[in-house]
Amino acid sequence: MGEMAENIRANHLVYPEDRRMRIHVRLPFLVLGAVAAVLPLAGAWVWMLVFGLPELAPSPRITYPDDPVGFPVWLRLAHFVNLVLMVLLVRSGLSILMDHPRLYWNDHCTPGSDWIRFTPFEVPKDRVWTAKDDSRYLSPWIGLPGFRHTIGIARHWHFLSAFFWLGNGLIFVALLFATNQWKRLVPTDLSLFTEAAKVMVHYATFHLPVEPDGFFRYNALQQLSYFGIVFIVAPVSLLTGLAMSPAIDNWAGWYPKLFGGRQAARSIHFLAMCSYLAFLVPHVGMVVITGLCQNMNHIISGTDTTGPEGLLVFLAGVAGILALCWATHWVSWKRPRWVQMGFRRILGPLQRAVLNRLPSRRQYTRDDISPYFWPNGKLPHCPEWEGLGDLRRQGFKLKVSGLVENPVELGIDELENLGKREQITLHHCIQGWSGVAQWGGVTLRQLIDLVKPLPDAKVVVFRSFGEGHYGGEYYDTLTLENAAHPETMLAWEMNDHPLTDLHGAPLRLRAENQLGYKMVKWIKSVEFVHSEKEVGKGYGGKNEDDEYYPVVANI
Whole-number CA gyration radius for the chain: 27
* pLDDT of res. 6: 58
For all residues of the chain together, what is the average pLDDT?
Answer: 92
* 554, 356 contact by CB (below 8 A): yes
What's the one-letter identity of residue 425? T
pLDDT tens digits, one per residue of 137-172 = 999 999 999 998 899 999 999 999 999 999 999 999
Backbone φ and ψ for 22, nearest 5 degrees, come out as -140, 130
How many CB atoms are located within 10 Å of the residue 6 CB? 11
> Within its chain, how far is the Cα of 463 from the centroid?
28
Mean pLDDT on 383-410: 91
Q: What is the CATH topology of the domain spanning 363-546? A: Sulfite Oxidase; Chain A, domain 2 (3.90.420)
What's the one-letter identity of residue 401? S
Residue 15 pLDDT greater than 80, yes or no: no
Residue 380: which residues within 8 A CB-CB, separation 6 or more?
386, 464, 465, 466, 467, 522
What does the alpha-carbon distance between residue 123 and residue 143 come to, in Å, rounded to a whole number?
Answer: 24
Residue 1 pLDDT greater than 50, yes or no: no
pLDDT tens digits, one per residue of 473-531 = 999 999 999 999 888 999 999 999 999 999 999 999 999 999 999 999 999 999 999 99
Report the phi/psi class of residue 239: left, alpha or beta, with left for phi > 0 and alpha for psi in -120 to 50.
alpha
Residue 16 pLDDT greater than 90, yes or no: no
* pLDDT of res. 11: 43
Q: Is the dihedral of CA 294, 298, 299, 300 positive or negative?
A: positive
What CA–CA distances, in Å, run from 296 to 92, 164, 182, 280, 493?
28, 25, 21, 15, 63
Angle at 348 between CA 543 and CA 449, to 5 degrees: 75
What does the alpha-carbon distance between residue 157 and residue 465 come to, in Å, rounded to a whole number?
Answer: 32
Mean pLDDT on 419-425: 94
Backbone φ and ψ for 16, nearest 5 degrees, come out as -60, 160
Tell me if residue 121 falls in helix, strand or coil. Answer: coil
Angle at 500 between CA 494 and CA 502, to 5 degrees: 110
Helix (H) or strand (E) holding 509: strand 508-511
How many CB atoms are located within 10 Å of the residue 336 CB? 22
What does the alpha-carbon distance between residue 437 and residue 427 come to, in Å, rounded to a whole number?
Answer: 8
First-last CA distance in the chain: 31
Domain range summary for the chain, segments of one domain joined by +: 3-59+70-355, 363-546
pTM confidence score? 0.93
In this prediction, residue 81 has a pLDDT band, given cuts at 50, 70 and 90, of very high
* pLDDT of res. 7: 54
* 428, 262 contact by CB (below 8 A): yes
**Percentages (nearest 5) of helix, strand, coil residues in the chain:** 50, 15, 40
- Find, among 136, 129, 224, the residue nearest to 184 by Cα: 224
